[in-house]
Structure 1
């Protein structure tokens, strides 16, 4: 899908480009009324989160809301470490897991803006190993996943397929853990890099024909996408992200590998076991990683991710630092897969669209009250952020649990919406 489609969409709906100066934001508390909230209503937000903590549902959280480029709420509540009784702090560093994905998507789209990548490019243009892929088709009458027939892919994987979970790339475990992969099946190793791993991934058969299905790719698709960024930018992924995204936006606590001096701020991953809190092993971020996981490797703070989403809310710029063109943000935040996402998990996704690595609200009555067109994505350990263009609002709710309750941010969201008065 060419970039011109996004520009045409913006023109069709008359969406203006961000005017110079309108993207100004300072990270300091503003009066609730500056964002159209009531002070008493925001106390309801505090109470809603505290209720979850008191009930033992979560151990602690950091949450924030900004509207009209004003920070109207940012609080740390409960405990970062419920075992050692260490309080949560506002600058706590969280494992972002899949919240990383839309950051990787922005990196790719920056290369689209520069004309180095097109969304409809076959990825074999950059990584030749993906040129002639095979698709694994189950043998009729068996449920044995090893019983498959390999058939040629009907078309190549495109860049857009990577960002919309429609590539067919398989989910591959590893990272030094035990895995059920069959003998000879390549696995991630702690010594792998994007450059060494991605060609190995290309030796595996696809799970379905590219573009025919939506099936969530935990690490592989966005890892491949980030490898494309390395190739066309000529920079290692960590360097590109720091120099081109994090530093310009003032995201000073966002890393794939957290420096030693800041590691004491990483929130330990915990789980609820027999009614008690216990430490849990994190898949990523537990040690230095040479593989820069574009699908789940970032660690960050609420402040930093709010800055990133404020950039998206302001259609690609923040405080005079333009990251994406306005029409590219429009392209990112509109539906790209139609019925494919709705058919994935119909009770959950049937009322939503899916853009370039973000879920998009189509029916507010079935989306916890988020407004039509709101978009975002979350992480497996409970990091949730979203952008609401209709309300000129961004919000974040971060916890760090090995198995967070489904939609754990709902009490926060519900209270926040009740606090909104103008």
Structure 2
């Protein structure tokens, strides 16, 4: 665990100074002068302030060293492309830097923020700001004029107050008898890269069926098998099946432009974007330019209006690179479902997919009543890795984020339900309570459609909405296990969730780790679990 430096440089100036004024930058520089910062690895965060008061900078660069916690503030534009670029008001900039965690998350819920760049780093920046390991940020806050009182620390419960229920302990013991290597691999991560985990496994040949939870879902609350973790991008697989169902009914064609079904999406280059490009993440819109980056949890009407005015970067050519689409593309798919079927995306998924699969405990989006009843039990995402303490966060756990649909992202439910979804696909489209897809449609959606493209996040071959095992391309692109067949398909969930089905092995697995860590460490731990699973079942 990292500790604060023994000595901080005292501020040379006295008094309080307006945020982003010349005097303020001098205070910031004095406070961090002796703190270690590696410019070659630090992330670069640009702030463009839309209403900068007279005498303050309207553009600045923040260097953030995620390994030491050091921040450096520089007035003026960056000389190279930033990792993250915010366009925001002066008040929102103050909240970003000096607000509490819940206030910082709230910036993405009102729609007034624009963000470009590698969104994934926002979680680690949030931890750096919340923990302020060197102490320089709190000292700078004391020298900044016009701020409210210091935010109170998050009130997390005392971890000593609750223990797992006896039935949860019994399920864990059973899991460890059936899958000893797998559970050992999971236990090695709990308390290190993640506070807790949920696991579901079903294996057709052996009859093995495991559902277990271990560790904490949030401070003071043990993970249970019926806890509702967020699925992140594993939610996208369910939305893809909705398009597949409409496809086999003749209501959509993946090769059609989205504008065929949403006439308002024409013009500004948008008319070239097809359903196929969305499902294979090969649209001409880079992930860094997702138009909903800064408003992912804003009201639906505001996000819809942002998509009405989005533009395609000039000169971009679809199909030539992976452009993973976190938010905007699945928002469009949801709009297509509503346009051609008449039901809302949430209702369509609930009636046509969740119910036939027996996914009774899954919610596409929570109602306000459900959220308020479960808010103190909902699993939280924790930021892990980098040598700092694991940090609970409010990301996607506030009422706005849970009760507004974030299409393709904020489904919640036990991972056993996610496993049942993949069991339906493994069974040729037949769920526990009825058919969802025809076998031919399942085959079409889970076969390779994007081949020969890779990206720095380990993505490689892709079906129509599904990641396809690509271990033949090397370790970096091994998705689920070194022992998985090349017909294995599934999805990831933002360095937390993972689910897959292996048709050759007759195996389904779903896993949620509520500690988010960076790509390399996440792949290491999921492959350790996946490999152990195949070994336990005699499939290696």
TM-score when normalising by structure 2: 0.59
Equivalent residue for 1:243, pick from 346, 351, 357: 351
* Aligned equivalent of 2:290: 171
The 3 A distance-change label for structure 1 pair 191 and 40 is closer
Name the CA distance, whole Å, in 2 between partners of 1:219 and 1:246. 21
1:73 aligns with 2:210: yes
Matched residue SS, 2:511: strand
- TM-superposed CA distance for 1:210, in Å, is 3.1
Larger Rg: 2
CA contact (8 A) 1:91 1:265 kept: no
Matched residue SS, 1:396: strand
The within-5 A match list for 1:140-289 is 156-169=272-285, 170-173=289-292, 179=294, 187=295, 190-193=298-301, 197-207=303-313, 208-258=316-366, 259-260=370-371, 261-272=373-384, 275-283=388-396, 286-287=399-400
CA contact (8 A) 2:485 2:505 kept: yes
Higher relative contact order, chain-length normalized (CA < 8 Å, sep 6+): 1
Name the CA distance, whole Å, in 2 between partners of 1:213 and 1:274. 34
Matched residue SS, 2:400: coil
The 3 A distance-change label for structure 1 pair 296 and 188 is closer
* Aligned equivalent of 2:526: 409
1:57 aligns with 2:193: yes
Alignment length (residue pairs): 347
Name the CA distance, whole Å, in 2 between partners of 1:417 and 1:250. 26
CA deviations on 1:295-322 (whole Å, 9 max, x unpaired) are 2121121111011010011111123511
Question: Unaligned stretches of 5+ in structure 1?
Answer: 1-37, 135-152, 180-186
Name the CA distance, whole Å, in 1 between partners of 2:215 and 2:404. 33
More helix by share: 2
Equivalent residue for 2:419, pick from 306, 317, 326: 306
Question: Unaligned stretches of 5+ in structure 2?
Answer: 1-174
- TM-superposed CA distance for 1:53, in Å, is 1.8
CA deviations on 1:113-147 (whole Å, 9 max, x unpaired) are 1111011111111111322233xxxxxxxxxxxxx
Name the CA distance, whole Å, in 2 between partners of 1:314 and 1:285. 36
Q: CA RMSD in A?
A: 2.7
Equivalent residue for 1:393, pick from 507, 510, 518: 507
1:421 aligns with 2:538: yes
CA contact (8 A) 2:291 2:306 kept: no
Equivalent residue for 1:378, pick from 450, 474, 492: 492
* Aligned equivalent of 1:129: 264
The within-5 A match list for 1:100-139 is 100-134=235-269
CA contact (8 A) 1:381 1:400 kept: no
- TM-superposed CA distance for 1:363, in Å, is 3.5
Matched residue SS, 1:93: coil
Name the CA distance, whole Å, in 2 between partners of 1:220 and 1:48. 36
The 3 A distance-change label for structure 1 pair 420 and 402 is closer
Matched residue SS, 1:348: coil
Matched residue SS, 1:129: helix
CA contact (8 A) 2:292 2:306 kept: no
